[in-house]
Amino acid sequence: MGKTILKASTLTIGYKDKQVLFNLSLELNQGQLTCLLGPNGAGKSTLIRTLTGIQKPLSGTIELNGKNLQSYNQKQIAHQLSLVLTDRMATGNLTVYALVSLGRFPYTGWLGTLNEEDQKLIQWSLKVTGTAEFTNRHIGELSDGEKQKVMIARALVQDTDIIILDEPTAHLDSPNRIEIFHLLRELTLKTGKTILISTHEIDMAIEHSDNMWLAMPGQSISTGLPEDLILNKSLENAFGSEKLSFDYLKGRFRRNEEELTNEFSITGSPIYTKWTKSALERAFPNGLREVEIEIINRDDAPCWTLMKENKSFITLELLINYLKINNDKN
Ligand SMILES: Nc1ncnc2c1ncn2[C@@H]1O[C@H](COP(=O)(O)OP(=O)(O)OP(=O)(O)O)[C@@H](O)[C@H]1O
Closest residue to atom 18 of ligand 1, CA basis: 43
| One domain for residues 317 and 198 | no
In angstroms, what is the span from residue 266 Cα to ligand 1's centroid? 47
Pick the atom of ligand 1 nearest to 14's CA.
12
Spell out the residues 6+ positions from residue 322 whose beta carbon is closer than 8 angstroms to its own. 306, 311, 313
Question: Which DSSP string do the residues of 39-92 spell out, in sequence order?
Answer: -TTSSHHHHHHHHTTSS--SEEEEEETTEEGGGS-HHHHHHHEEEEEGGG---S
Q: Domain for residue 257, yes or no?
A: no
Owning domain of residue 299: 264-328
| One domain for residues 152 and 193 | yes
Domain boundary among 204, 239, 274: 239
Q: Domain for residue 90, yes or no?
A: yes
Of 297, 322, 321, 298, the closest CA to residue 308 belongs to: 322
Phi, psi of 265 (to 5 degrees): -120, 140
pLDDT confidence of residue 263: 65
Q: Give the ipTM of the model, two decimals please.
A: 0.97
Pick the atom of ligand 1 nearest to 39's CA.
25
Q: Domain for residue 249, yes or no?
A: no
| One domain for residues 127 and 270 | no
pLDDT confidence of residue 329: 46
Pick the atom of ligand 1 nearest to 215's CA.
21
In angstroms, what is the span from residue 13 Cα to ligand 1's centroid? 11
Q: Domain for residue 254, yes or no?
A: no
| One domain for residues 41 and 164 | yes
| One domain for residues 309 and 208 | no
Pick the atom of ligand 1 nearest to 48's CA.
18
pLDDT confidence of residue 86: 76
Closest residue to atom 28 of ligand 1, CA basis: 41
Question: Total domain count for the chain?
Answer: 2
Of 109, 111, 108, 188, the closest CA to residue 156 belongs to: 188
Residues with CB under 6 A from ligand 1: 15, 18, 20, 38, 40-46
Per-residue pLDDT tens digits of the chain, which is 330 residues long: 679 999 999 999 999 989 999 999 999 999 999 999 999 999 999 999 999 999 999 999 999 999 999 999 999 999 999 999 876 565 668 899 999 998 888 888 666 688 888 899 999 999 999 999 989 999 888 888 899 999 999 999 999 999 999 999 988 888 889 999 999 999 999 999 999 999 999 999 999 999 999 999 889 999 999 999 999 999 999 998 888 889 888 888 887 765 545 567 888 888 888 899 889 888 887 777 778 899 998 777 889 999 888 889 989 999 999 988 886 544
Which of 12, 16, 44, when mutated, tests ligand 1's pocket best, judged by the most ligand atoms within 8 Å of its CB? Answer: 44
| One domain for residues 324 and 193 | no
| One domain for residues 210 and 303 | no
Q: Domain for residue 231, yes or no?
A: yes
In angstroms, what is the span from residue 43 Cα to ligand 1's centroid? 5
| One domain for residues 9 and 44 | yes
CA distance 217 to 238: 8
Q: Domain for residue 244, yes or no?
A: no
| One domain for residues 216 and 303 | no
- The structure's pTM equals 0.82
| One domain for residues 210 and 295 | no
